Structure 1
Amino acid sequence: MVEEQPPIDEIKLIHKLGIFKIKGRDKQGRKILRIIGKHFPAAAKGSLSLDLLKSYLEVKIFPKLERAFVVVYVHTDVHNLPGISLLRSLYDAIPVNVKQYLEAVYFVHPDLQSRLFLATFGRFIFTGGLYAKVKYVSRLAYLWEHVKRNEIEIPEFVYEHDEDLEYRPMMDYGLESDHARVYGEPAVDSVSSVATYSMRCIS
């Protein structure tokens, strides 16, 4: 049975949005699937249907993930949670023979809302062991500990946001509104797993 190809115009739109991209390898030699959460609202508002995104993944992405791979999910400038709910729906659509190769999900620029949401519901939403593979990456500097900079394309708005966070650590946790930059000491943080964050919430 031949898989139905997504319409050419819609394929071009997904490429233009740059939601998904496979390029490069991390420092352990695993393929990288980069996902830009900021562009998910285009799907949520009807520009792209969830079924179309799933079809695109089935045809263009999943066949290229036949070995160990990691996901770099960029949450920068996502101000609500449709990105996470869509991630869950897309994760459910991943074939079992592909899921077995997913070894880590780097969650770049998590905000307070996403941290609390995942700490509360993560184990129920991301089943099958995925929850334990999710790691928060609060700064790009910590992503480079796992991925070489020249191995992945990061949009300019992500670098700009990262610079703001360096000088406004309270903004990182939703404790400061996005007004004129206030310079101070750079925030100190590291890659931390969702599980670790959950334990902090409980203690």
Structure 2
Amino acid sequence: MLAGPDLKEDLQKLKGCRTGEAKLTKGFNLAARFIIHTVGPKYKSRYRTAAESSLYSCYRNVLQLAKEQSVSSVGFCVINSAKRGYPLEDATHIALRTVRRFLEIHGHTIEKVVFAVSELEEATYQKLLPLYFPRSLKEETLSLPYLPADIGNAEGEPVVPERQIRISEKPGAPEDNQEEEDEGLRDDLSFIGSHAFARMEGDIDKQRKLILQGQLSEAALQKQHQRNYNRWLCQARSEDLSDIASLKALYQTGVDNCGRTVMVVVGRNIPVTLIDMDKALLYFIHVMDHIAVKEYVLVYFHTLTSEYNHLDSDFLKKLYDVVDVKYKRNLKAVYFVHPTFRSKVSTWFFTTFSVSGLKDKIHHVDSLHQLFSAISPEQIDFPPFVLEYDARDVDFIVSGERAARENSHCYAPVRKMNDGEGWTDESPSEARGKMELELGQW
């Protein structure tokens, strides 16, 4: 032990240190006045909230002890341990966020915070540090789209909305202060049933019958839909979805020309007949829940897909019905890259008769050159086979960079061959109108 035998004696006097706690000893033979000891949590996806809260407590309690001892500089090792199963990136978010929030409030007491990391952890810290400690306004602006939706409360502590329950002292009485408390039994009885906790909910069987009869109110339907989505979300957070994640069929990349998050779906990586589609739906919810709180766009690569990769309309309708309203409200565009005639027909029928709310957001994109006018090339991670396929007809690198430079806007134009006279740009609405006419004749 580098600190010497005295530290061992001090540790025995501490009588242990529980998860999330922090305890202080002298530095003895080390080049530090004090050593602050803490114990990081074990991580299980089923108990994610508890692990997040414990890890937050570790960093927060260490900083609090440093403040109480008037320590001007603090050095952190990485508290979360790979042996305990904590995902490095999630833990790094909590570490940086907690330190940032603490310094915002108590920054005058601490002059320097050092993160001592290994080579395995360095890349993650370098990637996430600009999100919480931007060195310039430009870096702050570029980092904003990558901040997670949950950034905790004012102190960086993870917040669970379901646990923020308001409890009043006397649920049967009004919340305003009463100057006279003994005005009689009649006054007390008049408030019974007026408080939120005393309101009665209709039974679930009756509500289901009303739904079948079309008599349930819009507000009640929305409430029921939210409850259903929350059940899916809870299951998505507790289920092991590593087999679906390994397909790399859905991932987040950069931002479009309007600063909106870009999500990529790779059709060829979805073996529909070989995977559990309910788990695929759970994975979609798990990934997208925090993305959909802000505006975003979807890029779907239909490139080189076969019949074994095509999602059927029943699954897509189920997904559309299950997801929260924020998914639909904040989805601004769907870029359908390398469509076939069959896929265009299927998309037209699906968006016309099943989910009409998506119809105006679908943009068929025949080449990456068109896509680059809405999303810069460096903002998308392309599967190699997509680039190879597109390179057969288009010099996508030169054309894409020129399009991104000279014709930058939020939506990619729809391209259509103009009777052998070359390529012409059409607005999505014009192209859609022509397509519907052609389909009607067909």
Instruction: Report the TM-score range of the alignment, normalised by the length of the smaller protein.
Output: 0.7 to 0.9
State the structure with bigger RCO (CA 8 A, min sep 6), 1 or 2. 1
SS at 1:83 equivalent: coil
d(CA) in 2 for partners of 1:152, 1:160: 15
Q: Which residue among 180, 199, 202 is the counterpart of 2:437?
A: 199
Which has the higher Rg, Structure 1 or Structure 2?
A: 2
Match for residue 156 of structure 1 among 384, 407, 416: 384
Q: Shift in Å at residue 6 of structure 1?
A: 5.1
Corresponding position: 1:17 with 2:247: yes
Distance 1:190 1:153, change over 3 A: farther
Match of 1:110 in 2: 339
Q: Which amino acid aligns with 1:13?
A: D
- Conserved 8 A contact 1:138-1:189: no
Q: 1:61 to 1:120 in 2, by over 3 A?
A: closer
The partner residue of 1:50 within 272, 277, 280 is: 277
Identity of aligned residues (%): 25
**Residue identity opposite 2:432 in structure 1:** A
1:145 matched to 2:383? The reply is no
Does the 8 Å contact 2:292/2:326 carry over to 1?
no
2:329 aligned with 1:100: yes
Cα shift at 1:65 = 1.8
* Letter paired with 2:363: K
> How many pairs were matched up?
179
Shift of 1:117: 2.1
Distance 1:191 1:65, change over 3 A: farther
1:70 CA drift (Å): 0.6
Give secondary structure in 1 for the equivalent of 2:390: helix
Residue equivalent to 2:268: 38
Cα distance in 2 for partners of 1:60, 1:116 equals: 29
Amino acid at match of 1:138: D
- Matched residues in 1 for 2:328 and 2:291: separation? 13
Residue of structure 2 equivalent to 1:182? none
Structure 1 35/76 Cα, relative in aligned 2: closer, same or farther at 3 Å? same
Is 1:83 equivalent to 2:321 in the alignment?
Answer: no
Separation of aligned partners in 2, 1:34 and 1:84: 19
Deviations 1:101-160 (A, max 9, x none): 011100000011111222344311333x21111000000010000001111111011111
- TM (normalized to structure 1)? 0.76
How far the C-alpha of 1:24 sits from its partner, in A, is 1.0
Q: Secondary structure at the match of 2:342?
A: helix
Q: Does 1:28 align with 2:28?
A: no
The Cα of 1:165 is off from its aligned counterpart by 4.4
Q: Determine the C-alpha separation between the residues in 1 that align with 2:427 and 2:320.
A: 22
Tell me if the contact between 2:255 and 2:379 (Cα under 8 Å) persists in the aligned partners: yes
Mapped partners of 1:33, 1:189: distance in 2 = 28
Q: 1:78 offset after TM fit, Å? A: 1.5
Q: Secondary structure of 1:107's match?
A: strand
Question: In structure 2, the residue corresponding to 1:17 is in which secondary structure?
Answer: coil
Give the aligned partner of residue 72 of structure 1: 299
Query: RMSD between aligned alpha carbons?
Result: 2.7
- The offset of 1:67, in angstroms, is 0.9
1:134–1:96 Cα change, 3 Å: same
Q: Contact 1:76 / 1:110 at 8 angstroms: preserved in 2?
A: yes
Q: What amino acid sits opposite 2:345 in the alignment?
A: L
